[in-house]
Structure 1
């Protein structure tokens, strides 16, 4: 029986390693065709505070939350916090991004991108050196890297099987943790998709395919998932200090029956930002809002979520057919 188990493990490892070689070649070809252009090094260190806000806003809109290195929203906000420590908008954005960063670390571990996980851990350390998840994630990355090294150094079939099983289990645990964290954040914006990251050149251990299904949250556009989550669990109506949203003109648009006003995010009260969020959505045959999603914004994520939450509660006249439209939700700080 022991010989049968060892033989089966050898067969499984052989299949995985063979698949790895094919996958590695495909990944290298894809990278050669579509390289990711990183911004000039040191830009975040030389830009002014206003430039950093613009860079961060553009990165947020492009969903470049944590990658590429030195060209993502999080690092721009970190640079803005260093440049202007009293800037409340930078602090609010970092607080908003931190839970998503934790999920991104878990996803990097789950897909075997350990150098990327270490880079993201460094960013989490900069955001909040006392983050509750920091030590746990460090231990998870260290354990997964150790299992990968053991697999590379194993000399016999039984040792290879144990190391492979250990790495697979650690990566599966990381995936489960990322999925739970993303679900717990509902209806907040989910973590950045794994595919959007730009990992370093893979090591042999990283190139091996892992028989774990990809996270559902990482497979869909962030704004769309956020909109659907808000639509499933709408916030209760409450008085809104923000100004009323302006509905976009459309000749055939159904008449609005109920137009919930957005709630100005409490976390952004100190920054007293003004701006707008453009939301696209579909009105179903019964007059309900479906699949609201952000298509443009000059404000942090907290405002986008408030806009999605408000629009998802709108009600239109029933026409029996679907109608796609957009609206612009305006935010102004409440009067003191």
Structure 2
């Protein structure tokens, strides 16, 4: 079977060179350059690690000598006409500022307060040139593979073409990015029985997929935060999946695999290493009752509607059952501490 691929290519512009002077911050595995502007603090987020600072491009005459180590809030004399290399040991992750003084060729290093917004360094947008999709029909030679009169189907558009004089004429399709994949038209009917070995399975995280009623409040006293917190319910539901069945069908999918939809614990645990944000069971792995559908996802009628509409489109619905770890990591969160669940 022959394929013709029309792919868009991108030419990336070379990154702009930094103007002198500039600061290089390096670890044992990474290195990044930052331009320095006199008397303007350069704020850089740094994690706990050992770094090497290199200040380059300082012109002029000076008699400065480098110190043995970097001190906070103390002007560091820099070398003129050569690179200044200094060790830096960061013990606490945070934002740190570097302020260069052109008057005495020194650098002041400070830790920024958390309330100060960090100044993000942005590279200029590269000049990108892309190939355009041809608008005229394209001729593909297929005579070595298919005799004249053979009907071929484009997998992406379902267009049928007939081989003539060893060639076929196809029109590039925008939806497939110009990609054309031809296969012979089947002359024997396909079996309606689904073989899961060859199934195209589309996994859906129910809460994150599509919300059919964005204005509805969360049940069980759960709080909605407008998607600002990664650990809360965001509103995706079974009816939202039903609304998107045509989209899923268009992908060539014949099985939908849902994340667990049974009733979850009603409350939350503290997320992250320090428990700094509410972490609910939106993922479906913290089961409270295997016999009920969680009201955040819908009800029995919503599930039946989804299955019926999926079957009309030749799509099966696969339910996930998590029975080997149906709880939060810490049992005392819900029993010993008397929290709502």
Calculate the TM-score normalised by the size of structure 2.
Answer: 0.22
Q: Which of the two has greater helix per residue? A: 1
Q: Which has the larger radius of gyration?
A: 2
Higher relative contact order (CA 8 A, sep 6+): 1
Calculate the TM-score normalised by the size of structure 1.
Answer: 0.22
